[in-house]
Structure 1
Amino acid sequence: MKFLIAIVGLLVVLGLAYLISSNRKNVKIKPILLMVVIQLLLAYLLLNTKFGLVVIEGIAGAFSKLLTYAGEGIAFVFSGIANDGEAPFFLTVLLPIVFISVLIGILQYFKILPFIMKWIGFLLSKVNGMGKLESYNAVASALVGQSEVFITVKKQLGKLPPNRLYTLCASAMSTVSMSIVGAYMTMIEPAYVVTAIVINLFGGFIIASIINPYTVTEEEDILVVQEEKQSFFEMIGEYILDGFKVAIIVAAMLIGFVALIAMINSLFNMIFGISFQEIIGYIFAPFAILMGIPVAESVTAGGIMATKLVTNEFVAMIDLGNAQANLSERTVGIISVFLVSFANFSSIGIVAGAVKGLDEKQGNVVARMGLKLLYGATLVSVLTAIIVSVII
């Protein structure tokens, strides 16, 4: 039964993408089918094999060690601020982002990350039927972040037509940055975090190639990566501050969104006898069912999905943690992979702002297609959840 639901779900997702396609005649079926097969194979490899278990445990162990090192710095500054046995969210989940941001800066400085991004991007371009720039950008987004990635390709931003710009921005919204992967792993199962990151890479290309199909000529298929010249300690300082800014921004958004949702839920309960999240849960329940979630759990799952869309993935992960005891293990896994992306309304502003800071004209182009970007990025998350539902 789960295979039938997955097939229907896959057809619905691809159909919804096709519905708003800018050039339906130019949609390339072969690369799309190939990437769906690759997604299934990767999901099976990571979630259902001994090799995948070793890879997941290795990555989770590495991040666990990094969080321990980060804890040393946090304890030095904030020692005594929490009572024994307590683990404040800001200290244990958000502040480690500062340390991981520094590590990303070091890997960037010594050209390790650029090397990885270029070659993985090159291999991806042979599969997805798109250009080297698009493939590099997708990998880079997953490693350095949805706003920082545009700095690395800023020399080409001003020369890109809207269709290629859409793909770059859609990739940035469909992935997550390495700096916050450790934070995710403290909230949901690491196996689902890693699997979602890998599968989203291909999902982004699948949806973008349907919504926004085009062909890149050899003359256009040029990748020019911007490398900023800084001293080592200047770079260290910059990445420390960048990581702290991310932690503070996420904390501020959580305070505002969690408080706002609590107030709205209370008002709806008083007026209608049902919470706001339950209402939007009913709206998203059909998509949850298409993702392989049982009907009995679809409203709860739909509420968590909608929360992620209107707020951010952190708020939704907190909600998932609170509801986890009442959900099956399969449902928790499917929702978990859905949550691992930047597909939410606030990301429209982040991506448009990042591009506008580098090229005002192109930033305005991105802002105009903001809802279309969010629509595509959300379909990527649904697609990833459907692929995983076949495996678990």
Structure 2
Amino acid sequence: MEMCRRTASINMNNRINLDLNESISRNGSIIDDDSGCISDNVFDRKVIINENDQTIKVKKHTIQTEMDDHHDYDDIIEKYFSFIFAFYRKNIIWFYLLYFTCYNVFFAFAIHRTWHKTGGYCSGVKLLTILTACAYTRMLYCYLLKPHILIPLGKCWEAGEFCRLSPSIRMGLKIGSWCITLLMIASFLFYNAWSNKRRYYSMIGYAAFVFIGYTFSKHRKAIKWNQILWGLTLQVTFGILVLQTRIGKLVLNCFSEKINKFLQFTNAGTALVFGHIATGILQGPTGNITINLGNNETLVGQIMDLPMPIQSSIFAFSSMPVVLFFSFFVSILYYYGIMQSIVQQLGWLLQSTIGTTACESISASGNIFLGMTESPLLVRPFLSMMTKSELHAVLTGGFATIAGSVMAAYISFGISSSYLLSASVMAAPSALAMSKLLYPETEVTRTSADNIQMEKRLVGNIVANLIAFVSFLAFMDSLIGWLGDMVELPNLSFQLIMSRLFFPVALMLGIEWKDAEKVASLIGLKMVINEFVAYQELSKLITNEAISKRSETIATFALCSFANISSIGIQVGGLSAMAPARRSDLAQLAVRAMITGTMASFMTACVAGMFA
């Protein structure tokens, strides 16, 4: 049916232009009349307009009603959830008791059903039992021992006979206790090294780094040896526990196994998103196929899923997603306050033993998990009022450790997760001790408060930096090789120069003579380029079995830090943005802090060499 198009202009209260595209009847209803055209009667048009106005008003009223109903619905939901949250907060103790009861019922049932089926204590219900015992011990300490026993005993101790002793007698008792402790540790180390004389080299190197630190100390007369001894003792004690004792090795290996398994869950995401470029496994097509041969002849066959050779996965799509996954997990821990609690507890331990301020201790403990620019965010409100010694400690802690997300990438290279984890933990007290040795406190601190606020930050530029540094390394090798050819040194390269320069350092760490040049080259790469490139080269040496197991262990510990030339700019830039008024102080302290962080990581490697 033909459609007629006509425009009518009608003056009512306002002039309205109508573009009529449909057939409308005399009573205003939409119809298809015989002619397919619209009546010319003005009355009909007024009726149409009035009815259209009514339709518009009805529609507007309907929309407004729906909006009001929607707002009412939102109000009901908001009131409903507000009531639930208020009820939950009011009865929080009963809910905690409910959670506690449900968990213990589940725990008891799990022990009854699967205890005899579980092999070791690193899996299943036996691992859950250990974790539950640790949680209950912490609850017992926080809610019973500390408030009702330890604090009253501490007050009685302060009011007792010991505090009334003269300062000289108290100092003598402290010195005597330290002498006995150090004598016991030294005796154990010498006895342990008797079976492997290379361990003595690590012990001598450890003492040499302490002597070098004392020689180049900023204020030797202001050194508080109690802080130095506590930091170094904690480092060596932890090394003994995790590298020498059987239970320590079991705990560390179990923890490392769980970390490796946790990071392997990244493969599920990378395989889905990137496919064979992340996994290296290329799947061929399957199904039926029909080939037209011409002359009405066809060939029908089937493509089989034949095994294809596994290719090397692309680094950016296999290793880097591990960093993203671990950073995502850390962000979740931050959101629920778990990471804050862990860092603050470790900071309390360092503060209670070493005697450093809360800011120094929390920043050092945060470096175990966070990067050198993320950890200072934990104490950001206090950076502007820190003394130079405290700023030096914050900088040193960042240089002496690595971030947890980057550690995940190194684990994906094939580097031992247990060694990386041990190095990060051992470096924290060592960094504080060496920082206080090279730059002792001479000012009055204003940052002894404990109310440190936590913040977070995510960095994702590893791939870009790696491309730039590897390219720069290739350029340096080419340039030095070109210069070497002019003086008839055809094998001269950047790595060769580094291996000669850091050869004595490798020997001080306790590296075997046959591997010292290779490890020295790795140390040089780490110092001049970064640890990422150095760990890649170490991964190749491990894969090709080019160095011994002892050299691999010491090298893993020695490279586990951000102490390199390029990190100086990153540290100064990051902290200057947080405390612009301290920019000049940070620039002045950065190089000394980088050297101090390097010495702290080398001392951690020496501890590993004492037991490797």
| TM-score relative to the length of structure 1 | 0.90
Residue by residue over 1:69-91, the C-alpha shift from the partner in whole angstroms, topping out at 9 and shown as x without a partner, is 22222223222436432222222
Deviates more, 1:312-321 or 1:98-107: 312-321
Q: CA deviation at 1:110?
A: 0.8
Q: CA deviation at 1:264?
A: 4.3
Pick closer, same or farther for the CA change 1:156–1:348 going to 2, 3 Å.
same
Q: Does 1:116 align with 2:336?
A: no
Pick closer, same or farther for the CA change 1:12–1:264 going to 2, 3 Å.
farther
Correspondence for 2:600 among 367, 376, 380: 380
Task: Give structure 1 stretches of 5+ with no counterpart.
Answer: 229-234
Q: CA deviation at 1:337?
A: 0.5
Aligned residue runs from structure 1 range 81-120, under 5 A:
81=277, 83-84=280-281, 85=310, 86-120=312-346
Assess if the C-alpha contact under 8 Å between 2:198 and 2:510 holds in 1: yes
Aligned length: 380
Correspondence for 1:364 among 568, 584, 587: 584
Q: CA deviation at 1:265?
A: 5.7
Assess if the C-alpha contact under 8 Å between 2:379 and 2:454 holds in 1: no
Aligned to 2:551: 331
> Which amino acid letter does the alignment assign opposite residue 400 of structure 2?
S
Q: Does 1:23 align with 2:219?
A: yes
Q: CA deviation at 1:21?
A: 1.0
Aligned to 1:5: 201
**Higher RCO (Cα < 8 Å, 6 or more apart):** 1
Q: CA deviation at 1:262?
A: 4.4
> Which amino acid letter does the alignment assign opposite residue 157 of structure 1?
L
> Which amino acid letter does the alignment assign opposite residue 299 of structure 1?
E
Pick closer, same or farther for the CA change 1:377–1:162 going to 2, 3 Å.
same
Pick closer, same or farther for the CA change 1:55–1:253 going to 2, 3 Å.
farther
Partner Cα separation in structure 2 for residue 30 and residue 162 of structure 1: 20
Assess if the C-alpha contact under 8 Å between 2:535 and 2:559 holds in 1: yes
Aligned residue runs from structure 1 range 1-392, under 5 A:
1-81=197-277, 83-84=280-281, 85=310, 86-187=312-413, 188-214=415-441, 220-227=447-454, 242-243=458-459, 245-264=460-479, 266-267=481-482, 270-271=485-486, 272-273=489-490, 274-324=492-542, 325-392=545-612
Partner Cα separation in structure 2 for residue 350 and residue 196 of structure 1: 22
Partner Cα separation in structure 1 for residue 253 and residue 515 of structure 2: 29
Q: CA deviation at 1:221?
A: 1.1
Task: Give structure 2 stretches of 5+ with no counterpart.
Answer: 1-196, 282-309
Pick closer, same or farther for the CA change 1:79–1:268 going to 2, 3 Å.
farther
Pick closer, same or farther for the CA change 1:259–1:276 going to 2, 3 Å.
closer
Q: CA deviation at 1:344?
A: 0.8
Partner Cα separation in structure 2 for residue 290 and residue 210 of structure 1: 20
Assess if the C-alpha contact under 8 Å between 2:395 and 2:594 holds in 1: no
Assess if the C-alpha contact under 8 Å between 1:145 and 1:176 holds in 2: yes
Pick closer, same or farther for the CA change 1:50–1:19 going to 2, 3 Å.
same
The alignment partner of 1:225 has SS state of coil
> Which amino acid letter does the alignment assign opposite residue 117 of structure 1?
V
Aligned to 1:232: none
The alignment partner of 1:369 has SS state of helix
Partner Cα separation in structure 2 for residue 342 and residue 198 of structure 1: 14
Q: What is the percent sequence identity of the aligned residues?
A: 24
| TM-score relative to the length of structure 2 | 0.59
Assess if the C-alpha contact under 8 Å between 2:227 and 2:356 holds in 1: no
Partner Cα separation in structure 2 for residue 151 and residue 105 of structure 1: 14
Assess if the C-alpha contact under 8 Å between 2:391 and 2:586 holds in 1: yes
Aligned to 1:231: none
> Which amino acid letter does the alignment assign opposite residue 211 of structure 2?
G
**Higher alpha-carbon Rg:** 2
Partner Cα separation in structure 2 for residue 268 and residue 78 of structure 1: 43
Partner Cα separation in structure 2 for residue 356 and residue 252 of structure 1: 27
Residue by residue over 1:47-78, the C-alpha shift from the partner in whole angstroms, topping out at 9 and shown as x without a partner, is 23332233323332332233222222222322
More strand by share: 2
Partner Cα separation in structure 2 for residue 266 and residue 88 of structure 1: 29
Partner Cα separation in structure 2 for residue 37 and residue 307 of structure 1: 30
Q: CA deviation at 1:45?
A: 1.6
Residue by residue over 1:236-292, the C-alpha shift from the partner in whole angstroms, topping out at 9 and shown as x without a partner, is xxx6xx35x244344434443443354346436644232221122111111111111
Cα RMSD of the aligned pairs, angstroms, is 2.2
Q: CA deviation at 1:297?
A: 2.2
> Which amino acid letter does the alignment assign opposite residue 497 of structure 2?
I
